[in-house]
Structure 1
Amino acid sequence: MKQIIDFIPLIIFFALYKMQDIYVATGALIAATAVQIVVTYFLYKKVEKMQLITFAMVTVFGGMTIFLQDENFIKWKVTIVYAIFAIGLAVSHAIGRSAIKGMLGKEISLPDPVWTKINTAWVAFFSFCAGLNIYVAYEMPLDVWVNFKVFGLLIVTLLFTVLTGIYIYKKMDKSEQPEQELDQKLNKDEQDHTS
């Protein structure tokens, strides 16, 4: 449900861009993102920092796009958001408080070197997307950039998330195996004592 709510502002942006223009679509994106945050808070009683950062960037760069009638500002928003995420993950790791481990560490137990690799991979991914957005924004027509922003980045992010999940699953099995062997040994010892 949450993923659907997160995707609605992009669909609205895409539809209004196709029906009207980039400026109408950008105004709708700002409004839809604001509504998204309200709905998310109403349903889940919290809003993630990433959503708030995205909303702030959409509002600032979208507002500049509309006010100055310059589509370049909304194009830059994507790169700046991805750069903020990359820097945030890098800094959180550098100070010893990995954001990814903080988000997932309560549910998933992994060795610290695995968390480091996951964190580094996401820093590289966000950095790559930030650079790729600049390339598409300035080397391709506006229609191509809109399609890339709405669908291309979404597909690439979903794919990278799945790959991260597979990597975690493989590492989780290995890291939890000693615990499972210990549990089996303890259970066997208990059975030996009770028989």
Structure 2
Amino acid sequence: MTQAANTKLKALLEYGPLVAFFIAYLKLKDEVFTFGGTEYQGFIVVTAGFIPLFLIATGLLWKLTGHLSRMQVVTAVLIVVFGGLSVYFNDERFFKMKPTLIYLLFGGVLGLGLLRGQSYLKSVMEGLMPLKQEGWMILTKRVTGLFLGLAVLNEVIWRSMPTETWVYFKTFGLPAAVFLFFMFQGGLFKKYSIAEESVAEGDKAE
């Protein structure tokens, strides 16, 4: 399999389950299903289908890449736990709280590292963005703020707005917020890039 095909398949495995959840919700949101004498709203039924789909996609991703990040593993665990609680108790609130807990957990871990004078983000992303230590510390502070902010935003939206609004927010709003955040870090990447520094020093030597 070519690298381009691998990249496309990886993206499909990462985002496919979320898109499938969104499409299934739009089709079943107004339906009510009865299992064992208990009525379940479409959201709960879609959540029940999303859990195994996500686990299958994660397993295939692990087989394709040979590894899973800590973030992917923790996300999978929380989806199983809180998705399972929503299905078991027939209560959509558990699943809606899942993004809050994910962002609080990751933000808290990064914040703990900052208190210890370390960038835990560096150990996860260093291979993607070689930065000087000062750059990693600044970026970690910003990512910590992003995660905590998204946790608060998720709480506000699921508690005060209709389920459909939350589904749109979960499917498009959260990924877009993370994407835009890193797009606006271009100045930091350029200023603290080790590669940029090495090139500049090489030009001076010539």
Q: Percent identity?
A: 26
Task: Assess, with a 3 A threshold, how the Cα gap between structure 1 residues 177 and 26 changes in structure 2: closer, same or farther.
Answer: closer
TM-score normalized by structure 2?
A: 0.81
Answer with 176-185 or 38-47: which moved more. 176-185
Partners of 1:22 and 1:62 in 2: CA distance: 11
Paired residues of 2:104 and 2:147 also in contact (CA < 8 A):
yes
2:22 alignment partner in structure 1: 14
1:167 alignment partner in structure 2: 187
Give 1 or 2: higher helix fraction: 1
Partners of 2:128 and 2:155 in 1: CA distance: 36
1:74 alignment partner in structure 2: 95
Partners of 1:182 and 1:126 in 2: CA distance: 36
Paired residues of 2:14 and 2:58 also in contact (CA < 8 A):
no
Partners of 1:31 and 1:97 in 2: CA distance: 36
Cα offset, 1:169, TM superposition: 3.2
Structure 2, unaligned runs of 5 or more:
1-7, 29-41
Cα offset, 1:176, TM superposition: 5.2
| Secondary structure class of the residue paired with 2:91 | coil
Pick aligned residue for 1:150 from 162, 171, 174: 171
Is 1:180 aligned to 2:188, yes or no?
Answer: no
Task: Assess, with a 3 A threshold, how the Cα gap between structure 1 residues 171 and 80 changes in structure 2: closer, same or farther.
Answer: same
Paired residues of 1:78 and 1:133 also in contact (CA < 8 A):
yes
Task: Assess, with a 3 A threshold, how the Cα gap between structure 1 residues 37 and 176 changes in structure 2: closer, same or farther.
Answer: closer
One-letter code aligned to 1:90: G
TM-score normalized by structure 1?
A: 0.86
Partners of 2:179 and 2:107 in 1: CA distance: 17
How many residues get paired?
A: 185
Cα offset, 1:163, TM superposition: 1.8
- State how 1:125-144 maps to structure 2 within 5 Å: 125-144=146-165
Partners of 2:189 and 2:131 in 1: CA distance: 10
1:37 alignment partner in structure 2: 58
| Secondary structure class of the residue paired with 1:110 | coil
State which structure, 1 or 2, has the greater radius of gyration over its C-alpha atoms. Answer: 1
2:12 alignment partner in structure 1: 4
Partners of 1:77 and 1:108 in 2: CA distance: 28
1:191 alignment partner in structure 2: none
One-letter code aligned to 2:167: V
- State how 1:46-65 maps to structure 2 within 5 Å: 46-65=67-86
Paired residues of 1:16 and 1:24 also in contact (CA < 8 A):
no
One-letter code aligned to 1:40: L
Partners of 1:55 and 1:178 in 2: CA distance: 38
Residue deviations 1:37-62, cap 9 Å, x none? Answer: 11111100111111111111111111
| Secondary structure class of the residue paired with 2:121 | helix
Partners of 1:19 and 1:178 in 2: CA distance: 52
Paired residues of 2:106 and 2:147 also in contact (CA < 8 A):
yes
Paired residues of 2:131 and 2:189 also in contact (CA < 8 A):
no
